[in-house]
Copies of this chain bind each other. A is one copy, B any other.
Amino acid sequence: MLKKGFVRTISIVKPSLSDNTADAQRLEQRLKKELSGDTISIPLHVLKKLPSNLRSWGFKARAVLFKDQCSWILLDLLDPASDSPALGAAIDIGSTRVVISLINLETGQEISETGFDNPQAVIGPDILTRIHYSNQDQGLAELNLLVIDAVNFNMSKLCREHGYKKEDIYIVVGAGNTAMTHLFLGIESFEIIKEPYIPCVNIPDTLPAKSLNLDINQNGVAFLFPNIGSYFGGDLISGILFSNLDQKENPSLMVDVGTNAEIVVGSKEYLIACAGAAGPALEGGVSKMGMTARPGVIDKVWVDPETNDLKVHTIDEKKPVGICGSGMIDLAASLFLSKRIDIRGKFSKQNCKKKELTEKNGIMDFILVDKNDSGTDQPICLSQVDLNSLTSSKAAMYTILEVIVCNTAGLNFKDLEKFYVAGTFGSFINPVSAISIGMLPDIPVETFEVLGNSSLGGAKVLLKVPDAFERVMKIRKSITYIELNVNQEFMNMFSGAKFYPHTDTSRFPSLQISSFS
Residues of chain A touching chain B, judged by Cβ–Cβ distance below 8 Å, are 15-17, 20-25, 39, 41-44, 47-52, 55, 70-71, 185-188, 190-191, 195-205, 207, 211-212, 227, 229-230
Contact = CB atoms under 8 A, between A and B. Distances in A.
Contacts of A51: 188, 190-191, 198, 200
B230 A200 contact: no
A201 B24 contact: yes
26 contacts: A16-B196, A17-B197, A20-B196, A20-B197, A20-B230, A21-B198, A23-B200, A24-B202, A24-B203, A25-B201, A25-B203, A41-B205, A44-B185, A44-B211, A44-B212, A47-B200, A48-B186, A48-B187, A48-B188, A50-B188, A50-B200, A51-B188, A51-B191, A51-B198, A51-B200, A70-B71
Contacts of A196: 15-17, 20
Q: Which of A191, A198, A230 has the largest number of chain B CB atoms within 10 A?
A: A198
A203 B197 CA distance: 44
Given A44-B211, A70-B70, A71-B70, A20 B205 contact: no
A179 to B, nearest CB: 13
Contacts of A23: 191, 198-201
Contacts of A49: 188
A480 to B, nearest CB: 13
Contact of A187 (B16, B47, B186, B212): B47
A342 B24 CA distance: 53
Going nearest first, the 7 A-B pairs with the smallest beta carbon separation are A24-B201, A22-B202, A22-B199, A17-B196, A15-B198, A51-B188, A51-B191
A239 to B, nearest CB: 20
Q: Which of A21, A39, A187 has the largest number of chain B CB atoms within 10 A?
A: A187
A218 to B, nearest CB: 12
B25 A202 contact: yes
Contacts of A230: 20
Contact of A22 (B50, B201, B212): B201
Contact of A42 (B15, B17, B50, B205): B205
A371 to B, nearest CB: 52
A4 to B, nearest CB: 23
Contacts of A186: 48
A23 B195 CA distance: 14
A39 B70 contact: yes
A48 to B, nearest CB: 5
Given A50-B188, A51-B190, A52-B188, 6 more contacts: A17-B196, A23-B198, A23-B199, A24-B200, A44-B207, A51-B188
A49 B201 CA distance: 11
A272 to B, nearest CB: 17
Contacts of A43: 205
Contacts of A227: 22
A478 to B, nearest CB: 16
A468 B204 CA distance: 29
Nearest to A481: B20
A205 B28 CA distance: 12
Q: Which of A55, A200, A230 has the largest number of chain B CB atoms within 10 A?
A: A200
Contacts of A24: 200-203
A50 B187 contact: yes
Q: Which of A22, A198, A199, A204 has the largest number of chain B CB atoms within 10 A?
A: A22
Nearest to A195: B17
Nearest to A188: B51
A40 to B, nearest CB: 10
Contacts of A203: 22, 24-25
A5 to B, nearest CB: 24
Nearest to A231: B20
A205 B45 CA distance: 12
Nearest to A227: B22
A49 B187 CA distance: 7
Q: Which of A39, A43, A202, A229 has the largest number of chain B CB atoms within 10 A?
A: A202
Contacts of A211: 44
A51 B191 CA distance: 7
Contacts of A207: 44
Contact of A201 (B47, B52, B188): B47
A326 to B, nearest CB: 34
Contacts of A20: 196-198, 229-230
B202 A21 contact: yes
A239 B156 CA distance: 51
Contacts of A188: 48-52
A495 to B, nearest CB: 28
Contacts of A198: 15, 20-23, 51
Contacts of A25: 201-203
A136 to B, nearest CB: 13
Contacts of A16: 196
